[in-house]
Amino acid sequence: GQLADLIGRVIPRATQSKDINPATRSFQALRIEVNGELDELKAGLAAGVKRLKPGGRIVLLSYHSLEDRIVKQFFMEEAGRTPNPSGMSPAIFAVPQTVPRLNLLTRKPVPPGEEEIYRNPRARSARLRAALKPKEETDATNR
């Protein structure tokens, strides 16, 4: 359409991917904002953990970096970890600041395997993260 053509002309060629139409990201950004998808993700994460029974697991697939950043930050906060203020080491190694409500099961996001990508090319950007709600509060601190 006209808008896609305009976006294609405005985005510098050097930043355009040869495989993805330059308008794709713009339309994705509009959809995310109009639908409030990132706010819905945050609300869903909070509601999911609240309803999770002790010993239960929460597993999430994110499909782009904005989603993954939100999931990562939420899991880190629920695990009682805060980003290292010095920025010198990864946040995963930060000292717990509060009583953890979750134990992280995945230290880093798990990407799809080669076979999954072959069977489903759209899965190539997926990232899986998982956490466990401790059975007792002391379980979370005994990592």
> Does residue 35 belong to any structural domain of this protein?
no
* Mean pLDDT, the chain, integer: 85
> Does residue 114 belong to any structural domain of this protein?
yes
Amino acid identity, position 92: I
Q: Write down the pLDDT at residue 86.
A: 57
Q: Write down the pLDDT at residue 117.
A: 95
Are the C-beta atoms of 129 and 106 separated by less than 8 Å? yes
Residue 96 — pLDDT band, cuts 50, 70, 90?
Answer: low
Whole-angstrom distance, CA of residue 139 vs CA of residue 132: 10
How many domains is the chain built from?
Answer: 1
> Does residue 13 belong to any structural domain of this protein?
no
> Does residue 44 belong to any structural domain of this protein?
no
> Does residue 3 belong to any structural domain of this protein?
no
> Does residue 21 belong to any structural domain of this protein?
no
> Does residue 99 belong to any structural domain of this protein?
yes
Strand partners, 132: 57, 103
Enclosing domain of residue 118? 54-141
Residue 16 — pLDDT band, cuts 50, 70, 90?
Answer: low
CATH number, residue 107: 3.40.50.150
Q: Is the model's pLDDT at 98 over the cut of 90?
A: no
> Does residue 80 belong to any structural domain of this protein?
yes
Closest by Cα among 1, 2, 67 to 29: 67
What digits encode the pLDDT tens for the residues 63-94?
999 999 999 999 999 998 876 555 555 655 55
